[in-house]
Every structure is written in structure tokens, then in C-alpha cells.
Chain A
Amino acid sequence: MKAGAPEKLIIDGKRLDGRGIEEMREIEARIGVLKRADGSAFFRFGNTRALAAVYGPRQLHPKYLQDPKKALIRCKYNMAPFSSYERIRPGVSRRSIEISKILTEALSQVVFVEEFPRAAIDVFVEIIQADASTRCAALNAAALALADAGIPMKDLVSSCAAGKVDGEIILDVAGLEDNYGEVDMPVAMTPRDENIVLLQIDGILTKEEFEKALDLARKGCKKVYEAQKAALKEKYIEVDEDE
């Protein structure tokens, strides 16, 4: 165990912040939070806050990147310098480049890219405050911002993290669990078809533990989806749901 770690992260089935093993932090989702962007959204898991903006479809430069058959989705993830206790140096890092790539790939699954040949759809995500699961919050905000921009999509993307702390499989890793837990496992799914569009694991899990974690993350993604749907409905109240 690392230095400075608390003795236990789970005491009598309760986590340090009082949550149960399968309990998520408070979720907040809002859309249309920025005026200049074509679409925008805010998503929060407890103290983790993400803000996403969509610009496009718009002309894609440089031209050689243009695809005559479809639009190119470009997602950029960035952390505000003040989002963490240790100031984040502005600019790209290896971490932000990797996260941007996997977010781009996850979003490319759900957008009808064939509708906009040669175009670019830019999705920018700013992490305003980081307390674990920033990539999940980023993706949840990004999917909502795309929907807010009116971009045709097959489905939303809903994301949350499962993990392993003190030997227990838990949902929505946060706070000290992120620093001293054993496993962090962000998952993103298309909520209707339950296709997994993002999956990462940092840490050791048995096959059984993994299956349990995946099942838990699935439940978490459903909860995220409900919050996303509610945010969309709040703004577009006149739209009937066909489910």
C-alpha cells in the first residue's frame, strides 16, 4: 500500500464518503450551457465536472483529412489548470492525447457520420474539476453536446467507472479510492444496444471480478443514461419518446 493511504477505504460496507458499494455519486446533467457553441453540455459526477462544446459539422482543414464518404469526428479533452490540487500545466500531455483518442473513437460509433461527407465535427471537452472518472464525465457531456447540436445519432453514449477497492468491486471510484484503490475501470456503452464503446482497466482483476465489475458498470451507465435523457427532455420537452 502506498504511503499516506488510509488504513481502510471501506468500513462496514460504507465508503469513506458514506456511499454504499454500488452507490454512485450525485449526477447532474445540463445541456445548452454555452451560447456560442453549436451544442454544449455540462456533466457532473460529485466533484468531477466536465463541460463539452460541439462545433460543426463544419469545413475540415487540412483538406487531405477530408473523407468523401463521411464526417471526421475530432474530440479534444483538456483539463483546466485549476481542476486539480496540483496545478495542471496547460497544453497537451500524453495522457490527454490518449483520452482524446479513445473519446473520439467512442463518439464515432454513434454519430451518423455518412450524413456529412468531407466535414469535421469538433467536440471539445474541458475538465473544470477532476475527482476521478473525468473521461467518463467528458464522454457523457460530449454525447449530450452532440445531441444538443442536433447532430443525428444512433444512440447516446453513457459512461461510468467501476473499480476494486479493499478487495470489493465498487461503482464510481472517487476521491482517495482513485489514489489508493486497486482497480479503476472506465466503461462506456450505447445505452439502447448495450454496445461497449470504451473500456480500460488499470489493475488486477480475476475473470469473475471483471464480470462483476462490468455488470456493475452497466447498471451505472443506465443511471447516467436516465440523467442524460432527463437533461435532453428538459430542454426539448415537446419531443415525444418512442420507447
Chain B
Amino acid sequence: MQKILIIEDEEIICNELSALLENSGYIPLILKNFKDAKTEILKLNPDLILLDINIPYMNGELLLRDLRKSSNIPVIMVTSKNSETDEVLSMSYGADDYITKPYNPNILLLRIFAVLKRTTTNSDVINYKDLVINMQKGIIKKDHKEIILTKNEMIIFNYLLNHQNKIVSRDELMTDLWNNNEYVNDNALTVNISRLRTKLKDIGYDDAIQTRKGIGYILL
């Protein structure tokens, strides 16, 4: 499991963020000692940092610039200032992404996921049991049999696959689809999921995607 370090001086936000991250299957860490932030970060060695711009002793941008001299840990800047200047500055100091408060929790999770994925793996091919999935082409292969998924089905399958064995809410799937410029509605989501199920059934995965009533879906 990946460790995510929260650097934020608002206690409530810290706690809620760590609850959010924990529920999504990450290990949240909270930075307590702002005075010696850099050494602390290097000691904790997280997989990703959520860095607020307004922190005590030092400002987030300076910390980032300092950190970048010795480490390439992915950083997402979190701020309540929404001006282009801040964003450009943060990115030029080496932030991997930038998000403004108040953020939508699902979008924050998507951004975290995207940054982690970009920095860890770079292959388009993923495996699921004995299936080989090519994300870019939208193809699932089993032995010599190939099935082709539409873009929407691929986005949904990809999301479920990345959260395998965890319950995924409809809203999360919806957010992911919208994030990928597919502005579908509730019905379309239902239709896409049932089509995906039929396609998986064709290659022998009958009950791969299960419905948890009132909560969401789970890929087993």
C-alpha cells in the first residue's frame, strides 16, 4: 500500500483527509513537525505528498523548491488561493499537480491516483487473472480470443481494476468518466456496466463485477 503524506496545518482537514485516504486504501501520514519539514519528509519517505501552500514556518512553495533539490517524491500542491500565478509558480518549482480548495474529494482521489500512476508504472498493459488488458487499444485478450471495449467501458473497467477487491461507488465511476471527458448520465452508466458484464461473461468471467446494493460495485 502506498503512503501519502499530508502537510497541512488545519487539524480538521488533516483528520478528514487521512480518513478519506484510508478509506481509499492508502496509508495516510501526517506531518507534525513543520520546523524541520524537509528532513522529516525524507525520513518518512512517502510515495506522494499533499502539500498545502500556507503552512507554518515556511511556505509550501519554498519547501517544495527545497525538497526538489534532494528528492523526486511526487507532490500535489493544495491551496485555497486560486490564481493562475500561484499555479504556474508551483508547477515551475516541480509540483506534479495543483488543486484548489475546496476540492471535491472524488476528484482529489482521482488526481492522486493519476499522479501515482504516472510516476510508478508506465505500461499500458495490465493483467487481470488470465486476461491481458491493453488500455490504450481498449482490448481484452484471453488466450487467442479478443474482445473490444468501447471507451466508456474501458474507463469503467480500468477504474474497477485499479480498485480491485474494493467497493467502488457509482459516483466514483461517474467522476472518473467525466474526468475523462465522457459526460454520461446515470442511465448510460448503468447500460455501460451491464454491457461490460456481458462482455466479461463471454470470456468466462460471469460474476466478476458484483453489485453491492446502495453502495456500489466491486470487481473480484
Q: Do A and B come from one complex?
A: no
